[in-house]
Structure 1
Amino acid sequence: MSVTDRFPVEQVLTPAPPHCTDGARVEIITSREVPLGGPRAMTVHRTLPQRQRSLIGAWCFVDHYGPDDVSVSGGMDVAPHPHTGLQTVSWLFEGSITHHDSGDQHAVVLPGEVNLMTAGAGICHSEVSTQDTTLLHGVQLWTVLPDADRNGPRRFDHHAPEPVHFEGGSALVFLGSLLGYDSPVHTFSPLLGAELRLEPGALLTLDVDPAFEHGLLVDAGQIDLEGVVVEPTELAYTGVGERQLRIRNHGEAPARMVLIGGEPFDEEIVMWWNFVGRDHAEIEKFRQEWQDQSDRFGLTRGYIGKDPAGPTWLPAPALPHAAIRPRRNPDPIARPEERI
């Protein structure tokens, strides 16, 4: 998915060294609404990145959307656009999306099946909801590639995880390890990604890696994490040092969440539009190469937009006049007082 903000905010992220906590504290990150697309833009709820916190492990981008009636919103139609230095992780609850990229990968994203695209030094791709989709509902996530791997080749991975059942619910672990399930999908830093479902009144006590920080995104239901209420579209953050997370559905309807996690990312990065780099000059270079349609990004074949008169690729926005200044990511410790 592309960042379609007209004036995207540049970000330099400098994660702090790990710091263990003595107890389970929860920090709530509220979402902001962002239009995605043209005149009938679908609305996504974005929790990462923002000023409060920009990284959870190597996770640097979290968009949550739907359920969207595509007859009203127009669905998803994102023309070919570029990425550098990151992986895109597509996870759907409802609907389906066609994917075409310049690594010559062509796929249909389906509910319960993860599609992970590694940009490496550069890639471009398109995403369009299928004609038979009536409701579109899911999350789009990005992870940062470490410096040692960010100039590598393009790559595409697909996996349909087997459900893990437990008392009061089930899980689909699409990245990393949880509840005894190990995803075979390759990542370039230690990561976790899983869909969780809880029945009404159920309590789930998860054993988690204390080296990880975690984020729990609530899609639907009345959920509390360590006794702290987490509303739908909110992302509840817990820092490193936790060995267990207690999640409860205190409502009368089934609940669904996405749990992400990873070791704190220890490299300074710059994020702007769809690029991840290491300094302003590099972002400037990526932008110009995309505008010039250079070989760095290749060519996406197979894109058919919903509007015959629509763009065949997305030009990059203008860069800010000021040089990008560093912004430090907070320590990997939950700060309950930071709820905004």
Structure 2
Amino acid sequence: MTTRPAEAASARRERRRVPTVVLVLVLSGILLLSIVLSVTLGPADIRPAEVWGSLLGHLGFDPTLLGGDVLSPLRDGIIWELRMPRILTAAAVGAGLALSGTVMQAITRNPLADPYLLGLSSGASLGAVAVILLSVGVLLPVAAFAGAIVALLATLLLAGAAGALTPTRTVLAGLAVSSFLGALTSLVIFWSATGDTYREILSWLLGSLSGARWPAVAIALGALLLVGIPLMLTGRTLDAFAFGDNAASALGVGVNSTRWLLLSATALLTGAMVSVSGSIGFVGLILPHAVRLVAGQRNRVVLPLSALAGAIFLIWIDTGARTLFDPRELPVGILTAVVGAPVFALLLLKARRIR
């Protein structure tokens, strides 16, 4: 029996893949280096030794250990209270969105799926706009998360009411809910926003990490640990979905219950990320595709690598947003779109050549 050329080419590509352990170690090292270097970038000139000294001091160690510097309260505040929580939030949000995008693309078998497919972004936006207009910004993360969960429930109920929870019905229900909630958000802004609230609302809708402090780190990292890590362990289940619902059922997967569970978990993770960062696009769309070109199609490999790649990507996008046009700061969502759209086009062209 002869092997078809396409299958032979695919087999050769799989043999040339870099080992997963090597990729994880390399990306983990790049992530740690990115965190340190990005802290040093900004209007205040910060050296890596100062970053290390600040970290040691806040962990209860001698700041001068292993070459660390003793800092003045002002410089320590810049590192520990301003830059570090923002960068860690960016890393967690990038990892969460990339992970959510990977799961959504696998479970819906739709390469254009992203974490906001179920209307989560529109629901979170409605909740956030409502509390901004009511001048209770302290409740913004709670309201955004609640809006995302309401959007999820509306999407799943609508899809379930139309029959079995198939990928097509889920996508169509998500589009309907997203359009409806987006229209409500626009109506609320048009009817009620005045003065400076327009700028605050626009900044949130375009995605921003400028207000991220340690509570935001706790929310994003907590969601990543509690929901993201279990999602990373579902790679084999997602691989079963790649062959269709019948094949997944034959492999022992409870199709409907598993899809409901995975969609709910993904929505919880996305809602937590959106609640602290606003709507940041393209991260959950392009990073899974980029990782698959390097690591192959196995989701148990793609999931952790996408999380690491998403964290690195958003750290540097946010660093660019706050430094490229200093003293002005761009919303993160603008830069992710500017970078993400051309990168996605290149990935599509590369994938076409590979096939």
User: Greater Rg, structure 1 or structure 2?
Assistant: 2
Q: Same fold (TM over 0.5)?
A: no
Flag the structure with higher strand content: 1
TM-score range, shorter chain: under 0.3
Between structures 1 and 2, the one with greater helix share: 2
TM-score normalized by the length of structure 1: 0.25
